[in-house]
Chains A and B, each alone.
Chain A
Amino acid sequence: MANLSLTDKCNKQCTYCFAGSGNNNTNNAFMTIDLFQTALNYLKRSGIKQVRLLGGEPTLHPNFVNFVDIALENNFEIMLFTNGLINAKTLKYLHELPLGKLKVLMNTIHPNEKNNSGQKQQEKTMKLLGKKLIVGVNIFNESQDLLYLLDYIQKYQLKNEIRLGIAHPILGKQNAYLHPKQYKTIGEKVLALKIKVMKYNTSLTFDCGFVPCMFAPEYHNILRNELKNTGKCCEPILDLMPNGKFISCYPLSNFHSMNIKEQSTSNEIKQVFNKQLEPYKLSGIFPYCKTCSLFNNACNGGCISYRIQRFKIEYQ
């Protein structure tokens, strides 16, 4: 897996954004076509068949359609991470792509959100992309409602899948994120969503950072499919930024980076990053992780960014 960040420009201002947008400073940088081609070569070398396009808002890149065309000509599948605020021309283009070639993951705006200015556009995007589109949400506070996601799937005949992400702290920045103390409250909400979606054969997908102890043990059986890899997925994802630098993941964007080289593969870059992260892996997100029977077994201790931050706090 590797993500190509086409731009850090965005047309939303999400307080939790870990993509360098929202309240964080952006440079409105755009990936060049040469770098995109270099990135495709890197994906081929690494045996990766899917191009994951993200940003900022990737569809704001002036050459977005061109990039998708090039990736498809090179037999890649496309996974697009978007906020759904896509211009009509690009939306029509995405609508016309074959179903098997494109998956779109859209971060939704809650219907009752105060600042829901983009909601009408999101509805258009859902209507037009239908089964190509997976709805998702980034959870950054414990009061967030999740149950509306199923209504979107049913109303717009979307893919029967919901992606749940946790907003993590970006080292050195002040973004909104879900504090581990709030994980159990969110665990209860996720469970309620799961019970609701079970009737409709809709699956839940957890992004990185979910840990088994968010959920009461008596409910682990209900969540057995979702929990298979929960707690074990905090590894460098590798995001290639518009400036040609790889980062482990967005929360670690200020922690380390590496320039893309002509010959490097995904595994080689991950090895370097993992070595730098190794000392922090002795700790989990909670003080009780060290005494938990799942630690370093079924769970690696949660988001490494938060684990690093635990050390930073104690630095002072």
Chain B
Amino acid sequence: MQTATIQLKQGIGYAIEENGVTILNNRLHKSEFISYPDAAIWLVLARNNDLKVSQKMISAILNLEKNKCNNYINSCLNNWKNYFLFNG
């Protein structure tokens, strides 16, 4: 079975701040700020291609059981669909 992967779309960058992450959309010349805890989810997703691994990490960080955690991640990804590319 193919593993679901996730990666940042081309032209998307981010900078880690003390209180969150600043997201840059280089193609649209736009940026936005995401504060914690969503910023922590962003960082895990942006740095790990394997979605299942990211789900496990986030579940441990937020101390959420699997289904609740996946719902939380999905709601974040729904807001960030312009930034991430999904496969599988």
User: Which residues in A have some Cβ–Cβ distance to B below 8 Å?
Assistant: 275-276, 278-280, 282-283, 287-291, 307, 310-312, 314-315
Contact = CB atoms under 8 A, between A and B. Distances in A.
Contact of A278 (B17, B20, B29): B29
Interface residues of B, number: 17
Contact of B33 (A290, A314, A315): A290
Contacts of A291: 17-19
Interface stretch (B8-16, B50-58, B73-81): B8-16
A116 to B, nearest CB: 39
Contacts of B33: 282, 290
Contacts of A289: 17
Nearest to A290: B17
B5 interface: no
A279 B20 contact: no
Contacts of A311: 13-15, 22, 24
Among the interface residues A283, A289, A291, A307, which one has the most CB atoms of the partner chain B within 10 A?
A283
**Secondary structure at chain B's binding surface: helix, strand, loop or mixed?**
strand
Contacts, number: 49
B14 A314 contact: yes
Contacts of B70: none
Contact of B19 (A290, A310, A312, A315): A290
Given A312-B13, A314-B13, A290 B18 contact: yes
B18 A288 contact: yes
B25 interface: yes
A288 B16 CA distance: 9
B22 to A, nearest CB: 5
A282 B29 CA distance: 12
B16 A290 contact: no
